[in-house]
Structure 1
Amino acid sequence: MSGASGFVGRAVVAELLRQGHTVFAGSRRGEAVGGAQGVKLDVTDAASALRAVQQAEPDAVVHLVGIIAQTKDQTFQAAHVEGTRHMLAATPRGARYLHMSALGADPASKSRYSATKGEAEALVRSSGLDWTIFRPSLIFGQGDDFFGRVLKELVTTAPIVPQIGDGRFPFRPVSISDVAQAFAGALTRPGTIGQTYALTGPEEFTFRQLLDEEQRALGQHKPVVPVPLPLMDLAVPLMGALPKPPITTDQYAMLKAGNTAPNEPARSVFGLPMHRLQDALPGIVKGGR
């Protein structure tokens, strides 16, 4: 498994181990994860990907690596496209291949994140492997980056809560538990080969409703002030000059596009319990980074 030490990776490792699978946890440092043996793996290096997979001799490869923001040393192209290319080349013929993409993945997207996710999907579909692609929406759970940090900072930093535009952009957040169960479930369901599944939760929220839920979980009642999109269009690129911008141009593009889809057929195929955001959010914001 690639990306095993990340937020999603740790949950998928735990679920696979719970179901009795032997797991080799691939990461750059090669540390053990939740009882799974660690393997050094840098997906941007073809030789590293091949060594890691050969060491594990797997029946299945789970590719989870993804980044939400680019840095000087890490680009979407390298992490999403070249990383996927290397993992596909290293996967033994006949092995199952499970791929984490993202809702909204599209090579034509204005967001480089979504565009490179779409390019990676195209590589998977043309690989000749027994693949399954998952496209999660915003994923919530202990230690998540969006609800536990980005949205939390947005509603707590200033005396008011800034709302992007009219706040009507739709989202359907999905729990990390549901995501992990879907990945593990695909390994025992041959009918999922060659299929792409959106992973979304039981309820749809507008961006404004997410702000309200975040405030409710934190026990605060600040006024919400809409910020016109033309002003945001000017401000967000300027924020990119900050050492750690509160929102990147890619994240902004994805927020404006929304992030939602029906939770079927994944809900039925994998028997997902569909955990609710409202139930988990108080614990997330109190334990968030």
Structure 2
Amino acid sequence: MTATVAVTGASGYLGSRLCQTLAGIGQVARMGRKIPSARFTFGGGTSAGFFRRHSVTALVHCAWDFTLHKRTDLMARNVGGSIRLMEQARAEGVQTIVFISTISAFPGCRSDYGRAKLAVEAAAHRLGALVVRPGLIFGDQPGGVVGALDALVRTLPVVPLIGNGRQVLYPAHEDDVGALIRRLVVQPALVVPGAPVTAAHERGWTLREILLELAARHGRTVGVVPVPWRSVWLPLKTAELLGVRVPFRSDSVVSVLNQNPSPDFSPTRSIGVPFREFVRSTAGKTCHAQ
């Protein structure tokens, strides 16, 4: 029987790319708030019996509502909705559940995003689900944080550098993240359920290096000016409280400043999916170093 993999957040940046990758192993049920036949929202969940009706054998839960800024809303909707979805999937016979967390989730993390993901990870462990923590995701047409940084270096001659710019981030190419998740869907026994798998290259890049590299990718030279993190965080937080949409969330500033000092890559090595290093630019052209 052909496997059916359900993917939440199928219209988002990472979710849409995962759907393309997972299509190679069977049918993909794309789930999202704007998909009538497979509607999923954090407040309303999905229809009762959805997983059983569609013979879903694996669920990749990638969705996350980034419009929520209050901690109470994050816990009630993103966390509560994620747990209810995974519980329903288990009750309806889904064999493999993969929860897409974040490298920003670790004991002692300070961002609301990381703490909320940790709360879902705890439930995933209880349900025997697999947890994947992607790093800073990049690609040919990046979205998310890298997309926002890329837009800055393309338009500004001088880019504000949060703090001292020495924060170490771990980039992860979108195709490699997809390959890892595909491997786990096919061979879930490769890792212990609930034990987080870091999906990123093991070489960390500082925020300053990433900004300069993104600029070089576009053949540009930009200046970087260190600024106090509060001078970046406060305007963003104020805009969010006023209901103004901003390209970079205030909580992302907290997340960038407080990275996991020692992510564990041992589960990643055991899976055997290589991650390429961050983009390297030469003579105005971009190549990928393995």
TM range (shorter): 0.7 to 0.9
Deviation at 1:283, TM superposition (A): 9.2
Q: Residue 254 of structure 1 aligns with which residue?
A: 255
Tell me which residue corresponds to 1:175.
173
Q: Percent identity?
A: 22
Corresponding position of 2:39: 40
Report the alpha carbon displacement of residue 260 of structure 1 after superposing the two structures with TM.
6.5
- In structure 2, the partner of 1:287 is none
- For residue 70 of structure 1, report the CA deviation from its aligned partner: 2.1
Match of 2:121, SS? helix
Matches of 1:220 and 1:263, distance apart in 2: 35
Whole-Å separation in 2 of the counterparts to 1:218 and 1:87: 41
The answer to whether the aligner puts 1:85 opposite 2:91 as a matched pair is: no
Q: CA deviation at 1:248?
A: 2.3
Q: How far, CA to CA, are the matches of 1:213 and 1:237 in structure 2? A: 28
Contact 1:134 1:197 in 2 (8 A): yes
Contact 1:104 1:114 in 2 (8 A): yes
Is the contact between residue 172 and residue 201 of structure 1 (CA under 8 Å) also seen in structure 2? yes
Which of 9, 13, 32 matches 2:15?
A: 9
CA gap of 1:39–1:146, structure 2 versus 1, over 3 A, is closer
Q: Match for residue 244 of structure 1? A: 245
Residue-by-residue CA offset, 1:155-192 (whole Å, 9 max, x unaligned) = 24433111112100100110111111111111224132
- Give the letter aligned to residue 70 of structure 1: L
Quick one: structure 1 residues 45 and 143, their matched pair in 2 at CA, closer, same or farther if it must change by over 3 Å? farther
> For residues 117-157 of structure 1, what are the alpha-carbon distances to aligned partners after superposition, in whole Å with 9 as ceiling and x for unaligned?
11111111122xx3110011111124432365310232244
Change (3 A) 1:243 1:50: same
Gaps of 5+ in 1: 32-37, 285-289
Match for 2:213: what amino acid? Answer: E
Separation in structure 2 between the aligned mates of residue 71 and residue 147 of structure 1, nearest angstrom? 16
Contact 1:200 1:260 in 2 (8 A): no
Residue 131 in structure 1 maps to residue 129 in structure 2: yes
Instruction: Please give the residue correspondences for 1:65-214 in structure 2 after superposition, counting only pairs within 5 Å.
Output: 65-70=63-68, 75-91=73-89, 92-93=92-93, 95-106=95-106, 109-127=109-127, 130-146=128-144, 149-187=147-185, 188-194=187-193, 195-214=195-214
Q: Contact conserved, 1:49 with 1:86, CA < 8 A, in 2?
A: no
TM-score normalised to the size of structure 2? 0.81
The amino acid that maps onto 2:35 is: G
Task: Report the Cα distance in structure 1 between the residues aligned to 2:130 and 2:233, rounded to whole angstroms.
Answer: 36
RMSD, matched Cα: 3.0
Aligned pairs for 1:216-255 within 5 A: 216-240=216-240, 241=242, 243-255=244-256
Is this contact kept in 1: 2:163–2:227, CA < 8 A?
yes
Q: Deviations over 1:193-234 (max 9, x none)?
A: 413211112431101001101111121112211113353454
Is the contact between residue 154 and residue 162 of structure 1 (CA under 8 Å) also seen in structure 2? no
Judge which range, 54-63 or 272-281, deviates more.
272-281
CA contact (8 A) 2:191 2:267 kept: no
Q: Please give the alpha-carbon distance, in whole angstroms, between the structure 2 residues aligned to 1:43 and 1:280.
A: 40
Which residue identity lines up with residue 225 of structure 1 in the other structure? V
> Shift of residue 106 of structure 1?
4.7
For 1:149, the aligned partner's letter is: G
CA contact (8 A) 2:42 2:77 kept: yes
SS of alignment partner, residue 129 of structure 2 = strand
Work out the CA distance in 2 between the residues paired with 1:69 and 1:10. Answer: 19
Secondary structure, aligned partner of 2:130: strand
